[in-house]
Amino acid sequence: MRKLIAGNWKMNELRADGTALARALASQPPDHGRELLICPPATLLAGIAPLLAGSGIALGGQDCHPDPKGAHTGDISAAMLKDAGCDYVILGHSERRQEHHETDELVRRKVEAAWAAGLTPIVCVGETAAERDAGRTLAVIGRQLSGSLPANAGARPLVVAYEPVWAIGTGRTPKPDEIAEVHAFIRAELAKATPDAASVRILYGGSVTAKNAPEILPIAHVDGALVGGASLDAHSFRTIALSAGD
C-alpha cells in the first residue's frame, strides 16, 4: 500500500506563512509513490484547499466535535472540515488527550462523526514515558485502540498513528525494534477486530525528521509518518516523503 506522509502543523502559521508553505509544497512535482497530507490550523483550511488542487496533496483537520452541529462554542464539526476541503482529520492526538482531557470514548464518537461526514480519521495512540518504563506500553495501546475505535472500524476508511507521548517534540524516538514491536501489535489487535486490518495504514509519529525517516519508514507495518515540527519546512517534509520509497 502507498505510504501516507502527513504533516501536523498544530497551532502554527498565520495566513501569510501558512499559504507560502502550502504553495511551496504544491509547486513540487507530484509524488505518485506516496500520499501526502497536510493538516493546517482550521483558520487556514479553506484558503489552502484551492492551492493544493492538482498537486496530489490532501488536506486534513486536527480535531472535530462528535456532534454534527449545534451549540458548541469554539468547536468545529466534521462536516465543516469536509466543506473546507478536507479528506482527513487527526483525532485523539496526545496533546488533545492531555490538554483537553479527551477520553477514548470521546475519540470513538469523533471517529463516528468523521465517517458520517466522509472523512478518514487518523486515530492517535501512544504511551507516556512512565508507562513505557513500567513495561505497560502494549497494554496502554491495546486499551486506547479498543476504546477509541468503533467495532466496525476496519470496514471503514481508517488510519492509526502510533505516537509515543515522550517522543513528540522532544527529538527522541524509540529504537527501530521498539517501533516494530508496537506496529506489529497494533496490526494484530486490528486483525482481531476486523478482516480488513491489512488495509489500515499505521503511521509512526514523534520527532520524525529528514535524518531519521530513512531508518523509520522501512520498518515492517510502518505505513507512513505523522510529522509535526519537520512538516513546517517544505524541504524537510519533501525529503521525509521521498525517503518513504515507492
Interface residue list for ligand PGA (CB under 6 A): 8, 163, 168-169, 205-208, 226-230
Distance CA 110, CA 104 (A): 10
- 93 catalytic per annotation: yes
The residue of the chain with the least Cβ separation from ligand PGA equals 228
- Taking the complex as a whole, the smallest distance from the CB of residue 194 to ligand PGA amounts, in Å, to 25
- Residue number, 58 or 194, with CB nearest to ligand PGA: 58
Supply the minimum distance, in Å, between the C-beta of residue 203 and ligand PGA: 9
CB of 35 to ligand PGA, least distance (A): 17
Q: Is 35 a catalytic residue?
A: no
Q: Smaller CB distance to ligand PGA: residue 62 or 194?
A: 62
CA distances from 130 to 97, 143, 168, 204, 235 (A): 16, 16, 14, 20, 34
Which of the 8 DSSP states describes residue 38?
E
Alpha carbon distances (Å) from 214 to 165, 190, 218, 230, 241: 21, 26, 7, 14, 10
13, 131, 163, 189: the catalytic one is 163
In terms of CB distance, is 35 or 163 closer to ligand PGA? Answer: 163
What's the closest the beta carbon of residue 223 comes to ligand PGA, in angstroms?
Answer: 15
Catalytic residue among 65, 93, 183, 221: 93
What minimum distance in Å lies between the beta carbon of 185 and ligand PGA?
20
Q: Compute, in degrees rounded to 10, the torsion defined by CA atoms 68, 71, 75, 80.
A: 40
Residue 42 to residues 59, 106, 158, 244: CA-CA distances in angstroms? 11, 20, 21, 27
Q: Which is nearer to ligand PGA, 167 or 194 (CB)?
A: 167
Q: How far apart are CA 56 and CA 29, in angstroms?
A: 9
Nearer to ligand PGA, 30 or 169 (CB): 169
In the beta sheet, which residues pair with residue 3? 34
Residue positions counted in the chain: 246
Burial 135-156 (b: 16+ CB within 10 A, else e): eebbebbbebbeebbbeebbeb
Give the active site residues: 93, 163
